[in-house]
Structure 1
Amino acid sequence: MTTALALRPYQSYIYGYPHKTAYRPLGPARPALRELWADEPKDALSFYTHLPFCEFRCGFCNLFTRIGAPGDLTTRYLDAVERQAIAVREALGDGEVRFATAAFGGGTPTFLSAAELTRLCDIAERRMGVDLRAVPLSVETSPGTATPERLAVLAERGTTRASIGVQSFVESEARAAVRPQRRDEVETALAAIRESGIPILNIDLIYGIDGQTAATWRGSLDAALAWRPEELYLYPLYVRPLTGLGKRTPVAEREWDAQRLALYAAGRDHLLAAGYEQVSMRMFRRADAPRTPADHACQTDGMVGLGAGARSYTAGLHYSFDYAVETREVRGIVDEYTATTDFTRAEVGRALDVDDRRRRHLLQSLLQADGMDVNDYRARFGAGPHEHFPAELAGFAERGWLDSGTGPELLRLSPEGLAWSDALGPLLFSPGVRAAMAAYRPR
């Protein structure tokens, strides 16, 4: 394992590929959405709406969010979402359009009032044609906004999964992560979710917080397990430019890496012993939890995103609106979005050639604990992954990241490989994507 020591384990969260920092303005000849979607399969689309509003900004957060919503901003934002929904649904055409999964994210969707959440669901159903009660619907929430009134709306409209960002049940650790919350507020929110009847509860926790120890990490895990959540996500703490924590004194990186790896392993083993299955580096599912069958495949099926921070995916182009982290920049982008009247064209994005499509399929499949069906990859791309990426896969094998006990039809990570997912994923980025990411100037 000496070769692995030259590489740091925590390079980047892999939310999708290509990374949004590789997107660029699509120029004066912005492609029309109707043309982009004309030849795309639309029978198993994913639907996502982004709400950028939060009560406060956590110290680690580099997502596209803004604090608060002065005046009538939420109304104007929903007005824009509705205009965009009308334009996008028209662009999808008159043929078969079916949504297989849906999500409201952010930001914090439950920053909206109960009445505004009702309107949001109405937009999804009446303007986009998403049958929210017939598909898996996931909604993100927070301890301060998971109120019975809001949750009742979401439950009635078909929400199957509520995901709450707790991060730590230890108040001193929450403060260290610049996340002002009280333990009793967290417990009240969790009780409200359970009482709402939403069938799947997910709790997000973070490891690597300043002052966190093995004992306090175990305490947060046990506090979460007391609610028997169907899912738990364990995230390593990252400190990014322009975030609250990013302005603080840097920590000793190698020691921090070792701490996070140790806490990850302890958390993983504790959850496995408690009857959870590992789905990916981050995701753990209770073995007896209800399963929601989904026929959307993130590697191949398209995604339609509404809202200022949402991405949309076709096979050949990933697109969105502008992206920023710094507070003033985010406010400007949100204001520009709410003033937009023409949503018929893609603004910012990145085209995917066949090499990037292969990389995306491999990356998004391999980072799942179940691994990748090699025959499916071969049928889709004409050759096997070892023929397209011999150097990368040989390097993974040398580091002990691949499961050597599988047959030739399955490519799967070893436990060590799952632990190093945030280093493994970026090694599959194409040279062009890496160059674009490196040239991006954080703002």
Structure 2
Amino acid sequence: MTVTAAPPVARPPRPYQHYVYAYPHKTAYRELTHRPRLADVWAGESRQALSFYAHIPFCEVRCGFCNLFTRVGAPEGLTGRYLDALDRQATAVREALGDDPPARFANAAFGGGTPTFLEAAELARLCDIAERRMGVDLRAIPLSVEASPATATADRLAVLAERGATRLSLGVQSFVEAEARSAVRPQRRADVEAALARVREARIPVLNIDLIYGIDGQTAASWRSSLDAALAWRPEEIYLYPLYVRPLTGLGRHADPAVADRAWDEARLSRYREGRDHLLANGYTQASMRMFRRADAPEQGPDDYACQTDGMIGLGCGARSYTSSLHYSFDYAVGMREIRGIIDAYTAMEDFGGAVHGRAVDRDEARRRHLLQSLLQARGLAVADYRLRFGSAPHEDFPAELATLADRGWLADAGPEWLRLSPEGLAHSDAVGPGFFSPAVRAAMAAYDPR
């Protein structure tokens, strides 16, 4: 009798592949050789509910895990020259948008880098640029600002509170000093607690605390300690981020890819589940894999950059701008030398009337983007909304991808009107997202040369 070997059981994909907070990813952008004028790019686009984002690419220290577009410190006068360039860019963008009809903004954010690296007077100038040049009424819409404990000083917070900030996100990462050092984020817990006290004293309505799991040496007990330290401040939001080790980052320079194995994946999944369950048990609701909101906290607009209108104006050399058919920005890098060069080129730039780097977004990519930004939220995707926008159903457009999620148990039984991830699907969001990348975007990302 011939015995037929059972087919090998397919191993599930690794859970931490790519954080999809924007699609297509910036590594899929390329130089736009024809440099389209912004007036043409925005012609015919809706401008009634735009998002506004200002990027400040400076930090007092670069964390070991960070692959954001930012530089450490700033030579004398550089932040002033950067704001000068931001002002010139805002003037050009506002002129390109025109007044027929006038642009209206629904939400705003200052990110980076660390926006609060700027001095208090510089923060006030940043707000002036947003309001006077771009017409963003910061006191009338949600305004989110990122900060670090060292830069969350009373004078800076006072400016932000007075100018309308409704949310302050503090990058704590860990309340355990040994873990902070391991992540190349040296800080004393006393200084972190003092910064949190200053944020509360400033009476900014929403405090968010960022925490990271998967740090070398972190245990279930030390993770619980950080969670409880954060909960003691009753923040309106808590973000739980898995540690990634990316090329050209401080940790990445010393990482052996062969060591980044499934044991670490399982450790991170365990910490995620522990953190999720602990926050849910303490009065928080889950908005996405990363975001948890206190049940009685005020809403702050779209979660996790889930802007379905496509319209976003980004100012600064690391900011993206979105129209319905083009996503554009400036050049992108992670290495310090390249970042410094891009910032220097931006500060010397005079003509901001054209798009420099970007990627066209056709109908297929728009479908993928809408699905990703909805499905990766705990609420899920409303099938009727998708059909209204695209004239088809998600299962018609992505039958194989959705069948794979169902086979893995990553889709919830939400009825015919909703497409929603199961709890395990939500836990594997960073594997779900890349499964919907188009072949063209995958190829562009693979061809990108990290620098």
Match of 1:368 in 2: 377
Q: Which amino acid aligns with 2:239?
A: Y
Aligned to 2:397: 388
CA distance change for structure 1 residues 252 and 430 in 2, over 3 Å: closer, same or farther? closer
Is residue 67 from structure 1 mapped to residue 72 from structure 2 by the alignment? yes
Query: In 2, Cα distance between the equivalents of 1:60 and 1:158?
Result: 31
Q: Secondary structure at the match of 1:319?
A: strand
CA distance in 2, matches of 1:293, 1:88: 24
How far did 1:290 drift?
Answer: 1.9
Question: Is residue 2:295 matched to residue 1:290?
Answer: no
TM-score calculated relative to the size of structure 2: 0.96
In 2: Cα distance, 1:39 partner to 1:381 partner: 19
> Are 2:415 and 1:415 aligned?
no
Which of 261, 267, 277 aligns to 2:275? It is: 267
Per-residue Cα deviation, 1:368-405 (whole angstroms, up to 9, x for no partner): 0000110110111111000000000000000011002x
1:39 paired with 2:48, answer: no
**Structure 1 spans left out of the alignment, 5+ residues:** none
Verify the 8 A CA contact 2:287 2:377 in the aligned structure 1: yes
Q: CA deviation at 1:3?
A: 6.6
**Aligned equivalents of 2:445, 2:297: Cα separation in 1:** 38
Distance, in Å, in 2 between the alignment partners of 1:32 and 1:396 is 41
Query: 2:12 is matched by which residue type in structure 1?
Result: A
Q: Give, in whole Å, the separation in 1 of the partners of 2:428 and 2:50.
A: 30
Secondary structure in 1 matching 2:216: coil
Q: Tell me: CA distance 1:407–1:132, structure 2 relative to 1, closer, same or farther (3 Å).
A: same
Q: Secondary structure at the match of 2:272?
A: helix
Match of 1:398? 407
**CA drift at 1:300:** 2.3
Other structure's SS at 2:215 match: coil
The alignment's TM-score, normalised by the length of structure 1, stands at 0.98
SS at match of 1:144: helix
Tell me: CA distance 1:293–1:211, structure 2 relative to 1, closer, same or farther (3 Å). Answer: closer
Determine if the alignment matches structure 1 residue 344 to structure 2 residue 349. Answer: no
Within a 5 Å distance, the mapping from 1:302-317 to structure 2 comes to 302-317=311-326
In the other structure, the counterpart of 1:183 is 189
Distance 1:119 1:418, change over 3 A: same
Unaligned runs of 5+ in 2: 1-7
Q: Is 1:149 matched with 2:155?
A: yes
**Counterpart residue type for residue 216 of structure 1:** S
Q: Identical aligned pairs, as a percentage?
A: 74
Letter paired with 1:291: E
**Cα–Cα, structure 1 residues 369 and 306, in superposed 2: closer, same or farther, change >3 Å?**
same
Q: Is residue 328 from structure 1 mapped to residue 305 from structure 2 by the alignment?
A: no
Contact (CA 8 Å) 1:4, 1:399: kept in 2 or not?
no
Q: Please provide the CA RMSD for this pair.
A: 1.3
In the alignment, the residues of structure 2 paired with residue 72 and residue 391 of structure 1 have an alpha-carbon distance, to the nearest angstrom, of 54
**Please, which of 232, 235, 244 is the counterpart of residue 238 of structure 1?**
244
Q: Please give the alpha-carbon distance, in whole angstroms, between the structure 2 residues aligned to 1:291 and 1:72.
A: 38
Match of 1:300 in 2: 309
1:22 aligns with 2:28: yes
User: 1:5 offset after TM fit, Å?
Assistant: 3.3
How far does residue 208 in structure 1 lie from its aligned partner after superposition?
A: 0.1
* Bigger Cα displacement from structure 2, 252-261 vs 159-168: 252-261
User: Within 1, Cα distance between the matches of 2:255 and 2:419?
Assistant: 41
Closer/same/farther in 2, CA of residues 369 and 297 from structure 1, 3 Å limit: closer
